[in-house]
Amino acid sequence: MPRTSLPARLALLSLCALILAGCSSEVPDTHPDQPVTKRKQAFKAMLRSFEPMGTMLRDKRYDPDTFARLANELAGLRDQPWSHFGPDTNYPPTKALASVWEKPAEFEQRRQEFIAASDRLIAAAAARDEAQARSAYAAVQDSCKACHRDFRK
């Protein structure tokens, strides 16, 4: 069986990569104000503050100063995504379930639970106590999971 030349292999590999990239692309947000994109960006910004706190706690490298800074960053970002869940924002590429709009009272309750849990996280961070921080972090994480379970694909 003849060997394929290196340039031919690279060309074939590049073609395969391009085809795969085209298959996995996300549906673009075509709404003029791009509310789906804006809320997704807001949630990702919150994660960039939240996830390092979890890593710190899991790795047993709690640093009260860093934890407090991250908790305060999260507090500054926590209100941003909610205004982008307007009545005409249930369209691809959203990962939100229709229940967001069908059950607005329940969705608002989950949002309030998240706000309350993040308030406790900020207080725990200010107390500089690792046990309180762990408990408060878990409460925020649980509020996120509950909302995702009920309102996210």
Q: How confident is the model at residue 16 (pLDDT cuts 50, 70, 90)?
A: very low
Nearest to 77 by CA among 105, 106, 39: 39
Q: What is the pLDDT confidence band of residue 99, given thresholds at 50, 70 and 90?
A: very high
- Provide the number of structural domains found in the chain: 1
On whether residue 79 sits in a domain, the answer given is yes
Identify whether 118 is part of a domain. yes
Average pLDDT over residues 130-153: 97
CB 69 within 8 A of CB 121: no
Looking at the domain assignment, is residue 10 inside a domain?
Answer: no
Is residue 142 situated within a structural domain? yes
Decide if 97 is inside a domain. Answer: yes
Q: Rg of the chain over CA atoms, in angstroms?
A: 21
Is position 43 within any domain?
yes
Residue 23 lies in a domain: no
> 100 lies in a domain?
yes
CATH of the domain at 70: 1.20.120.10
The residue segments making up the domain with residue 136 are: 33-151
Return the higher-pLDDT residue of 10 and 151.
151
Measured between alpha carbons, how far is residue 18 from residues 15, 25, 46, 124 in Å?
Answer: 5, 11, 32, 48
User: Which pLDDT tens digit goes with each residue over 110-131?
Assistant: 999 999 999 999 999 999 999 9
How far apart CA 70 and CA 152 sit, in angstroms, is 25
- Is the model's pLDDT at 134 over the cut of 60? yes
Instruction: State mean pLDDT over 38-48.
Output: 97
132 φ, ψ to 5°? -65, -40
Residue of 32, 138, 147, 29 whose CA lies nearest to 93: 29
Average pLDDT over residues 17-34: 69
